[in-house]
Structure 1
Amino acid sequence: MSDLRLLAMDKDDLDIVSAHMQDSVFKAPDIAWDAKHQQFSVAVNRFVWEKSDRRAKGHERRRALLVFKRVQAVRSLGVSRGNDEAVHALLAIRFEQKGEGPDGTIELTLAGDAAISLDVECIEAQLADTGGAWETTNRPDHA
């Protein structure tokens, strides 16, 4: 299967990116915020839901990069930049529009009541697989 590459320019697009990013894991050093260029990125180990079969014994993860552009501010709750070994699991990505315009807040909801909030001018996100796949026997379960 070829590498995944997605572009999100509206809420519906972002919902698709969220579905592909569900259960991705990362550590604090994988996060980058470039205020000058208004860009936030996170490198993750993405669970490959599009190839997952509940009955299969083997599943897949891939290294991927999620980039948000036109980011004006970043806030986090429960994500310690001082703890490089803590693993964070992404549950969902949601957009809350502020008013009539395209600006709003993108929230990355993480396990353990943690979150990263991005104040954005508009939705502009890219998700791309950046490395080969590896097998995992662990399939996330949301029962």
Structure 2
Amino acid sequence: MTEDARFEDARGGPLRLRALDADDLQVISSLCQDAIFPITEMAWDRKARRFGLLLNRLRREDRLVAQGTEVERVRTVLAIEDVTAVQTNGIDRTDHDTVLSVLAVTMEPGEDGTGRVLITLAGDGAVAVDVEALEVTLRDVTQPYRAPSGKIPAHDD
């Protein structure tokens, strides 16, 4: 019998971060840039007031990935708490073969601590998540793996 891969076998351990303000969210946004996910890995649990994405995140925090020497991804859960509403724009949620790419995760403040977490996607798509208060977590849930493309995505300025 073979064993599953473990984080202890890789360079660095799993990330587990929480954002409670805009500065914290900026860190999470930079780590989520170029993460990809099938549209089927997006869910809102109304009763628990939680919205989540299961991302294939580029491991930008790894020195070799940052240098472009190796390109690794890791499965990561991005969870948003205290959610009151979720809206999408520019994506067809009925097309279950759609794969989306994250460009940024930002906060548009509202009144009395409320606001909207905006997940901007490549191709003019977006997910807007209304919250009573900002609480976003990012947690790696699998062993890192070599990215099939072997490349870091390039962006036009």
Alignment TM-score, normalising by the size of structure 1? 0.94
SS in structure 1 opposite 2:97?
coil
Q: In structure 1, how many angstroms separate the alpha carbons of the residues matched to 2:79 and 2:25?
A: 12
Q: In structure 2, how many angstroms separate the alpha carbons of the residues matched to 1:91 and 1:22?
A: 5
Q: In structure 2, how many angstroms separate the alpha carbons of the residues matched to 1:142 and 1:63?
A: 22
Say whether the 8 Å CA contact 2:90–2:126 is kept in structure 1. yes
Q: More strand by proportion, 1 or 2? A: 1
Query: For residue 77 of structure 2, what is the aligned residue in structure 1?
Result: 65
Residue 48 in structure 1 maps to residue 59 in structure 2: yes
Residue 31 in structure 1 maps to residue 42 in structure 2: yes
Give the alignment partner of residue 112 of structure 1, picking from 123, 126, 142. 123
Instruction: Report the Cα offset of residue 140 of structure 1.
Output: 1.4
Residue 98 in structure 1 maps to residue 110 in structure 2: yes
RMSD between superposed Cα atoms in Å: 1.1
Structure 2 residue identity aligned to 1:79: I
SS in structure 2 opposite 1:49?
coil
Instruction: Report the Cα offset of residue 54 of structure 1.
Output: 3.5
Identity %: 34
Instruction: Report the Cα offset of residue 50 of structure 1.
Output: 1.0
Say whether the 8 Å CA contact 2:68–2:152 is kept in structure 1. no
Task: Say how many residue pairs are matched.
Answer: 141
Deviations, residues 17-46 of structure 1 (Å, cap 9, x unaligned): 101111000011101101111100000100
Larger Rg: 2
For structure 2, the residue ranges without an aligned partner over 5 or more in a row are: 1-11
For structure 1, the residue ranges without an aligned partner over 5 or more in a row are: none
